[in-house]
Structure 1
Amino acid sequence: MAFPLTIVLLISLSIFISCLHASDPPLTLDYYASTCPNVFDIVKKEMECEVLEDPRNAALVVRLHFHDCFVQGCDGSVLLDDTVTLRGEKKASTSVNSLKGFDIMDRIKNKVESECPGIVSCADILTIAARDAVILVGGPYWDVPVGRKDSKTASLELANANLPAAEEGLLSIISKFLYQGLSVTDVVALSGAHTIGMARCANFRARIYGDFEATSVKTPESETYLSNLRSMCPAALGGDNKESAMDYVTPNLFDNSYYHILLNGEGLLNSDQELYSSALGIQTKELVIKYAHDPLAFFEQFAYSMVKLGNITNLDSFVNGEVRQNCRFVNT
């Protein structure tokens, strides 16, 4: 059976990246066992406070972790502020005006530093916090390997190039995941994190005034949902920063409702609905259906995929990295 050239290229890229990541430095579960044995408890307690204050904080931290790992690996580069000598990633096209949660990381880092000064990297804290954030809103548990170092650099260019955008097509999204050593299955499972996320009007305007009606099942509920979206997000310029939940059914609960929304053709972002509606998404469509009907399978795969995401590393951070005292700035 002959495969389209685009699929062949994606398969070849996947094999290449698998080899590329095979020699990544190892992470371990007991890295801080003797130097900061309470770090997991500290992060968990702080995340409990943050999510209790506002359940949406869970999604902010998970998104921060994702943005960190897709640029230079999971090395805390996303947390760096711009300085005279360093250009950070916070103003990347997929991050500016929408990436939040930096103050949450500041508070957790301060707590960890007070007990274990100079021991635990910001990259590890963010990875642990993302796991705890998911659990606190009903999601699955997974063990978090640790031992990352914080980078002394950031890359606005890589942030703009590597991170998937809201209006991106399916093959482009898949290629960006494959580049990180993540599979098509990981694409669909990790996208399920949008069950607790919010999106800005600027990122879903084209969708709700584009093909939303074509993919939607056109029930009274669906029509009301679209009408509400359009009322808060006008077709003309304005209201860019107004937000809507990507899972309008259970926005503060980590469950598989997101996939049911895609089955109904009501995905808020084009990049989400493409997983089910794209003519090129034979495998992704099957996975959306599977996770919609089997929440346990989704939870198991999401946990596995989050470990893979968190294990994206680069040798430079291990050799030349550090443990930042302040997550926003490299040590002086």
Structure 2
Amino acid sequence: MNAHIESHTSAAGKARKRKANPSVTSNGLSRTANALLVALFALLSLACIYPVLLVIAVSFTDEQSIVTYGYQIIPKQFSLFAYRYLFEDAAQIYRSYGVSIAVTLIGTVGSLLLTSLLAFPLSRRDMPYRNVLAFGVFFTMLFSGGLVPWYLIYNDAGLNNTLWALIIPHLVAPFNVIIMRTFFTNTIPVSLIESAKIDGAGEFKIFARIVMPLSLPVMATIGLFQTLAYWNDWFTSSVFISDNKLVSLQYLMYKTIYNIQYLNSGMVDANVAGSASAAIPVETVRMAMAIVGIGPIVFVYPFLQKYFVRGLTVGAVKG
């Protein structure tokens, strides 16, 4: 009750100060400082939005206009030829879209489950050998076996040309485990866990019924990290996938760009490359592929953005 009265009194005092000094805004800054901050953030927003708009504009521009006038936010000559060229093999693009979406969904959900199941025990001070296991997680951030052992392990497991080859390598990231462990340590009260134990709850029930509902911010943050990692990954496909039916969208885009560059490199017979490369809108296709590749991921971030900063900072400093 006293706290409520004090907060009400404080709010009333701030309101009186604003009335006494009209030049002070509701956030405590002067109107000049507030206007400068608004202008600064507007410029920063424009700096972020402008490149995206430029990429979109170039993808809808005629290739010859790009060569003649360069990149322009308003196309000199509108053209859909880059998208028509890109979607000549529409079935392959849709198939790769399906592969990327399936890998991203399965991988992100599996990663959140395994990461939290590892991070929660590491956050418990009563867990035996807790520090040894935590050091093992941290050690993998500094050292790895290298590319050849990494490939041999998954190859010997028979994961070549399977979706699991695209999912398993990124399931548990040490950095994500450390972030989640810090969140659990500094945010989940020990007394809450002890009270649940007194009421007869087991470890899995505590984890599922208490810890997980309280960990939405860090789950959304790690989920966004993993979604971006899975969606943008093309290297794993290049190593383990040779079946075109299982090629991810990002690797398909990479192969398309590589083929265009190869045709224009002068290493192909002029009679063959001349007819093939003459019809390829190089710059506009590159931009069209960027738009096709980032499409779905753009719609994911707004739903997770409100949890993003909180998930990184709530457990970062002990209260």
TM-score, normalised via structure 1 length: 0.25
The structure number with the bigger radius of gyration is 2
Structure with the higher helix share, 1 or 2: 2
TM-score, normalised via structure 2 length: 0.26
